[in-house]
C-alpha cells in the first residue's frame, strides 16, 4: 500500500507529517511519498529524514517529491519529479544509480520522451480529477493509464508508446495480453519467463536506499 504524506493535508487534519506517516506505517503502508510544496528546505529535510528513518525501521520505502537534494540528504529511497523539475538525467546524477527516480507524464509525447531517460518508472495522470493539487491537465481516465502499466517479456516501454500512437489503447492492451500468454506457454514448457520491462512502478534494480 502506498500513501502520499502531504504536508498541507496532514496539518489541516491536525497531524504532524511524522505522526501521519507513522500511522500509515502502522496500518501496513509499504511506500510513502512525501509532498511539501511550500515547506522550507530545512524543515523538509528534517521531516524527510525522520520519516525515512521510521519507514526503514518498518521495512517501507520513501519517495520525496520534486527535491532530489532532499531525497539524497535524508536517506530516502528515491525522488519523484514532474515535467517542470530538474531533468531525469540531472536528478540521476544527484541521487545515484541505486535510487528510484520517478517521472510524471501527461501526454503520449511526454511518455515517449520519458522512456528514453534514466528513470525507474513513469506515471501518467491525472487519472481522476483531484482537488489536492492543480496539474494543468484534464483527467485522462483508466484507459490511458494502461499504457504505463505494461509489464511484458518482449516489448520495451518505447515500443509500447509507439504502439499506442499507432493503434491506441486497444493495441497496447492486446500486445500485453499476447505477450503474457506467450510467457505462460514458456512457463509450461519449463523454459521460464524472460526479463520484464516495466513502464510504471519502481524498478527493482533501482530499489536501493540512497547513500
pLDDT bracket for residue 166 (50, 70, 90) = very low
User: In the block, which residue shows the cell 483531484?
Assistant: 130
| Cβ proximity of 133 and 189 under 8 Å | no
pLDDT bracket for residue 144 (50, 70, 90) = low
Please give the pLDDT value at position 1.
87
Alpha-carbon span 202 to 99, nearest angstrom: 10
pTM given for the model = 0.68
3-state helix, strand, coil in the chain (%, to 5): 45, 15, 35
Q: Between the CA of residue 83 and those of 69, 73, 109, 136, 148, what are the distances in Å?
A: 17, 23, 12, 12, 16
Q: Average of pLDDT values for 107-132? A: 80
Please give the pLDDT value at position 107.
81
Q: Is pLDDT above 60 for 211?
A: no
Amino acid at each position: 500500500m502506498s500513501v502520499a504524506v502531504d504536508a498541507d493535508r496532514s496539518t489541516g487534519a491536525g497531524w504532524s507529517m511524522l505522526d501521519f506517516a507513522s500511522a500509515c506505517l502502522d496500518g501496513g503502508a509499504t511506500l510513502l511519498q512525501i509532498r511539501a510544496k511550500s515547506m522550507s528546505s530545512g524543515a523538509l529535510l528534517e521531516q524527510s529524514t525522520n520519516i525515512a528513518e521510521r519507514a526503514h525501521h518498518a521495512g517501507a520505502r520513501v519517495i520525496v517529491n520534486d527535491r532530489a537534494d532532499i531525497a539524497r540528504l535524508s536517506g530516502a529511497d528515491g525522488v519523484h519529479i514532474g515535467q517542470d523539475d530538474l531533468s531525469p538525467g540531472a536528478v540521476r546524477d544527484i541521487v545515484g544509480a541505486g535510487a528510484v527516480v520517478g517521472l510524471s507524464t501527461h501526454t503520449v509525447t511526454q511518455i515517449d520522451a520519458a522512456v528514453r531517460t534514466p528513470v525507474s518508472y513513469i506515471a501518467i495522470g491525472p487519472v481522476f480529477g483531484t482537488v489536492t493539487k492543480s496539474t494543468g491537465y484534464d483527467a485522462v481516465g483508466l484507459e490511458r493509464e494502461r499504457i504505463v502499466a505494461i509489464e511484458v517479456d518482449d516489448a520495451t516501454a518505447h515500443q509500447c508508446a509507439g504502439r499506442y500512437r499507432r493503434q491506441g489503447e486497444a493495441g497496447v492492451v492486446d500486445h500485453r495480453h499476447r505477450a503474457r500468454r506467450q510467457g505462460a506457454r514458456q512457463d509450461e514448457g519449463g523454459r521460464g519467463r524472460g526479463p520484464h520491462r516495466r513502464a510504471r512502478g519502481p524498478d527493482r534494480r533501482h530499489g536501493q536506499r540512497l547513500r
